């Protein structure tokens, strides 16, 4: 492997025969998708006010029929609004295309694939609908809320009974020192278009499944509405009553069985960062030299470039390898030859 591009603090590391590829949240809501990749939303207002048409009686049946079969009502509503990613990361679409290429071209070296899936409910402590201001005004997305602000009454949960629990959460979150609560747009809502995997990545890993007769692992995170869950290893503040938020020791052990753990996905400033930091802290063997970060297959949330770069610098110092997908594929090809 080209040591100028694929190195760690401990030097160059060759491609191995047992690679576990980890794809962090390669989902539509995180991708800056071109319009042609978005598809239409038949219930959007621009599609003739379709939601308003959901009434009882024969009209409803005809309306639903036209959704199932667009030819059933050729003169019906047109110009449906395209789906829009809720939290698009600049550069993520191209990241996904590079990931898809890597899966196809390194297929014979990949022994396992895990896809993590950010999986939220609409009502979540990190979504706008949970919060209101002191003056009963909506809280905009990308608002940070501190424990001190909540204690002072600047913000409060819309459900008054949630105040004490929210205060405990923010206090512990800040004590842990990694994040302050960020109110994000509703994203990766379970069952939504935005929750789906980027089409090119899904097509590529489906080809891998068909070729190797193996199942791509799917690891859901974020379904507990009381804690943020950036990392696929554990929630930011684990819930003692919810095992899904606690340290995922079984997955860490599974990763550790591979000779190399190659990681890509979104966003490098948040979910990739938190996942990799937790893997590095808790991998049973502490063989951090087998962790490979594909730096051209991850991008930061807009405005968080510095956080991603600091994360990458810290991981390199800890012995992880940073590598472009092109250089990694070159190494795969060289080993094949």
Instruction: Kindly tell me the sign of the dihedral angle through the C-alpha atoms of 126, 129, 131, 137.
Output: positive
Closest among 191, 180, 133, 175 to 157, alpha carbons compared? 133
CA distance 162 to 178: 23
Dihedrals phi, psi of 116, to nearest 5 degrees = -90, 145
Where does CATH 3.40.50.850 sit in the chain? 7-34+86-120+188-336
Q: What is the pLDDT of residue 107?
A: 95
For 191-213, give the DSSP string. TSGGGSBPHHHHHHHHHHHHHHT
Q: Which residues of the chain have pLDDT under 50?
A: 1-5, 8-11, 13, 46-56, 59-78
3-state helix, strand, coil in the chain (%, to 5): 40, 15, 40
pLDDT in tens, 235-278: 999 999 999 999 999 999 999 999 999 999 999 999 999 999 99
Q: Are 90 and 298 in contact (CB under 8 A)?
A: no
Q: Are 223 and 243 in contact (CB under 8 A)?
A: no
Q: What is the pLDDT of residue 14?
A: 57
Secondary element (H or E) of residue 159? none
Tokens of 318: 């800890």
Q: What is the pLDDT of residue 335?
A: 76
CA distance 97 to 86: 19
Q: What is the pLDDT of residue 49?
A: 44
**Helix pair 271-282, 249-256: axis angle to 10 deg:** 80
Tokens of 152: 């002072």
Closest among 319, 270, 333, 265 to 295, alpha carbons compared? 265
* The architecture CATH gives domain 7-34+86-120+188-336: 3-Layer(aba) Sandwich (3.40)
pLDDT in tens, 60-108: 444 434 444 444 444 444 456 899 999 999 999 999 999 999 999 999 9
267 cis-preceded (ω within 30 degrees of 0): yes
User: What's this model's pTM, rounded to 2 decimal places?
Assistant: 0.86
Tokens of 221: 């995170």
* CA 124 to chain CA mean position, Å: 16
Task: Say if residue 137 is exposed, middle or buried (CB neighbours under 10 Å; 0-12, 13-18, 19+).
Answer: exposed
Q: Are 32 and 85 in contact (CB under 8 A)?
A: yes
CA distance 124 to 188: 12
Q: What is the pLDDT of residue 67?
A: 42
Helices (H), 73-141: 92-105
């Amino acid at each position: 492997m080209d040591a100028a591009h694929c190195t760690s603090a401990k030097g160059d590391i060759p491609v191995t025969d047992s690679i576990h590829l980890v794809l962090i949240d390669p989902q539509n809501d995180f991708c800056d998708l071109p319009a042609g990749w978005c598809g239409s939303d038949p219930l959007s207002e621009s599609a003739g006010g379709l939601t308003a048409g959901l009434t009882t009686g024969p009209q409803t049946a005809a309306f639903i029929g036209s959704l199932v079969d667009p030819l059933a009502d050729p003169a019906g509503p047109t110009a449906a609004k395209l789906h829009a990613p809720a939290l698009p990361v600049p550069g993520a679409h191209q990241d996904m295309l590079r990931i898809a290429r890597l899966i196809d071209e390194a297929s014979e070296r990949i022994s396992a694939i895990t896809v993590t899936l950010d999986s939220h409910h609409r009502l979540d402590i990190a979504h706008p609908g949970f919060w209101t201001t002191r003056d009963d005004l909506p809280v905009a997305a990308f608002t940070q809320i501190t424990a001190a602000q909540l204690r002072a009454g600047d913000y409060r949960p819309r459900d008054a009974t949630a105040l004490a629990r929210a205060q405990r959460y923010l206090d512990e979150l800040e004590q842990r020192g990694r994040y302050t609560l960020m109110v994000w747009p509703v994203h990766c809502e379970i069952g939504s278009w935005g929750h789906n995997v980027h089409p090119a990545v899904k097509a590529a890993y489906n080809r891998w499944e068909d070729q190797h007769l193996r199942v791509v692992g799917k690891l859901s995170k974020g379904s507990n509405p009381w804690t943020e869950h950036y990392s696929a290893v554990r929630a930011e503040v684990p819930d003692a009553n919810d095992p899904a938020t606690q340290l995922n020791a079984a997955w860490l052990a599974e990763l550790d069985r591979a000779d190399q753990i190659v990681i890509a996905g979104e966003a490098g400033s948040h979910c990739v960062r938190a996942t990799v930091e937790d893997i590095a802290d808790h991998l049973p063997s502490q063989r951090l030299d087998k962790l490979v970060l594909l730096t051209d297959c991850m991008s930061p949330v807009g405005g968080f470039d510095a956080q991603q770069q600091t994360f990458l610098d810290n991981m390199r110092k800890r012995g992880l390898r940073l590598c472009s997908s092109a250089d990694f594929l070159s190494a795969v090809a060289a080993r094949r030859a």
